[in-house]
Homo-oligomer: A and B are copies of this chain.
Amino acid sequence: MTQNASSFPPLACVILAAGQGTRMKSDLPKVLHPVAGASMISHVLAACAVLSPTHVVVVVGPDGKEIEQVVAPVSCVVQKKPLGTGDAVKAARKMLDGFTGDVVILFGDGPLITTESIQALQRKRQESKAAIVVAGFRLENPGPYGRLITDKAGKLTGIVEACEATSEQKEIGLCNGGAMLFDGARMWKLLDALKDDNAKKEFFLTDCVALAQKEGGAALEVIPSDDVLGVNTRIELAQAEKIMQRRLREKAMLAGATMTDPDSVFLCADTRIGRDVTIGPNVVFGPGVEIGDRVDIRAFCAIERARIEAGAIVGPFARIRPESYIGAGVHIGNFVEIKNSRIDAGAKINHLSYIGDATVGEKANIGAGTITCNYDGFRKMRTHIGAGAFIGSNSALVAPVAIGDGAYVGAGSVITNEVPAGTLAVARGRQANIEGWAERVRDGKGDKG
């Protein structure tokens, strides 16, 4: 599917992330807003990484510290003043010193770019020998997008902003997708020739296309319009999320997962799902989830940083929190929370339970309403439940505590001491019946129950 990267010249990736993103109405830098569980810029970096680039540079603004931390160890350079996209790319010059391969310019707020589309730009450059390849896309109503102007031979001669387009040019349905790929050997000369003699007093990267006409010309590669979606508002962020989710869902379904309602299943880019897995409506996967074959995940589940082995049944209404391991054939039922625990094969935790910082042995049965009391207000401590143990309903297991293999805890017990293997433990009050009480209460003589 992906062409062998080695057939192309070396690749450098410059990712622009200096925009302020005021329309996001946020204290978080725009490119760090998440899509499918990861920051937008990390999706761009991931699409690049598949191609094994020799250089990757992120261009940030003066307040880019937060971005630098997220993208590390990828290198960042600072664009000191917002003097336009052309100026931003120049900020990467020192990092690309002497590089003469292909340089692709991408956008940190464009999380939907795919490896396939970058490869298409590489391929077009190889075929066309042009100084620049511009990613174009088609829209029926291109509205505010810059239009791509081509000559009769289909070569790209210029990019015109919508606001400056003639009415004839406005009829062009071919738009500027933003992403561009330069011949690194000719790039700096073009950038140095850029001028800021425009209303905004900025250096526009798009002006390189006109300048390149004498330097080998510019070529055009049409890529899917989804790939170039740029995010400037939370509405566009939600659109990007929607497209990314659709991609992830379709990939999972084609690999053999059934989703009753794919539109309500939320995946992360790193979610791994086996074959003959069924996923009900309204399931939310956070980062770091691996699902084995034939797992049945029912409606209304939230799962994060967990591995679920083959044949397990989870939900409805289950929450699996980070660092959890759910063994083969385990049943996790409704209103159950599992956190930082290992549940071994065949164990059942079917109802209203909290199992945190615990290990549960094979085929153990945890009754409804069981709570592991893992926190005493000072420290978190662990609970061990042995293989084949039976924990009666509504029990509290006060950690640190161990329940042996095959042990049995009576319903409603508060277990504070070890229960050896095969032992029955009961820890609850004795029942006292006070006859005729209801009648006396009705007469105003009863106590509070």
**A residues bordering B, Cβ < 8 Å?**
24-28, 33-34, 233-235, 237-238, 241-242, 245, 250, 253-264, 266, 275-276, 280-282, 284, 298-300, 302, 316-317, 319, 333-335, 337, 351-354, 356, 365, 367-369, 371-373, 375-378, 390, 392-396, 398, 406-417, 419-420, 422-439, 441, 446, 448-449
Q: How many copies of the polypeptide does the oligomer hold?
A: 3
Nearest chain B CB to A358 CB, angstrom units:
12
CB-based contact B422/A435 at 8 Å: yes
Which B residue sits closest to A434, measured CB to CB?
Answer: B424
Centre residue among A253, A264, A337, A414 by max chain B CB count within 10 A = A414
> What are the residues of chain B within 8 A of A411 when measuring CB–CB?
371, 373, 396, 398, 414, 416, 449
> What are the residues of chain B within 8 A of A34 when measuring CB–CB?
258
Cβ contacts A to B, 27 pairs, < 8 Å: A233-B253, A237-B253, A241-B261, A260-B266, A261-B266, A282-B300, A284-B300, A302-B317, A317-B335, A368-B371, A368-B372, A371-B393, A371-B394, A373-B394, A390-B449, A392-B449, A394-B414, A411-B414, A411-B449, A412-B413, A413-B414, A414-B428, A419-B433, A423-B433, A423-B434, A423-B435, A424-B441
> What are the residues of chain B within 8 A of A415 when measuring CB–CB?
431
Which B residue sits closest to A378, measured CB to CB?
Answer: B441
Nearest chain B CB to A266 CB, angstrom units:
6
CB-based contact B423/A376 at 8 Å: no
Which B residue sits closest to A259, measured CB to CB?
Answer: B238
Contact of A433 among B319, B372, B417 (CB under 8 A): B417
CB-based contact B254/A234 at 8 Å: yes
> What are the residues of chain B within 8 A of A375 when measuring CB–CB?
365, 367
Contact of A235 among B254, B298, B352 (CB under 8 A): B254
Which B residue sits closest to A435, measured CB to CB?
Answer: B423
Centre residue among A245, A264, A371 by max chain B CB count within 10 A = A371
Extra 5 A-B pairs, beta carbons < 8 Å, given A282-B282, A423-B438, A429-B429? A319-B334, A356-B368, A373-B393, A424-B446, A427-B430
CB-based contact A373/B398 at 8 Å: no
A433-B422 in contact given A238-B253, A282-B281 (Cβ < 8 Å): no
> What are the residues of chain B within 8 A of A371 when measuring CB–CB?
351-352, 367-369, 393-394, 411
Complex alpha-carbon distance, A264 and B258, angstroms: 17
CB-based contact A424/B398 at 8 Å: no
Complex alpha-carbon distance, A316 and B250, angstroms: 26
Nearest chain B CB to A420 CB, angstrom units:
6
Contact of A250 among B235, B275, B419 (CB under 8 A): B235
CB-based contact A284/B284 at 8 Å: no
> What are the residues of chain B within 8 A of A417 when measuring CB–CB?
431, 433
> What are the residues of chain B within 8 A of A373 when measuring CB–CB?
367-368, 392-394, 411-412
> What are the residues of chain B within 8 A of A351 when measuring CB–CB?
337, 354, 356, 371
A412-B414 in contact given A25-B254, A319-B316, A420-B435 (Cβ < 8 Å): yes
CB-based contact B406/A422 at 8 Å: no
> What are the residues of chain B within 8 A of A368 when measuring CB–CB?
337, 354, 356, 371-373
A436-B423 in contact given A26-B275, A367-B373, A373-B393 (Cβ < 8 Å): yes
Nearest chain B CB to A253 CB, angstrom units:
4
A424-B413 in contact given A257-B234, A258-B234 (Cβ < 8 Å): no
> What are the residues of chain B within 8 A of A416 when measuring CB–CB?
411, 431, 448
CB-based contact B438/A427 at 8 Å: no
> What are the residues of chain B within 8 A of A300 when measuring CB–CB?
282, 284, 300, 302, 317
CB-based contact A24/B256 at 8 Å: yes
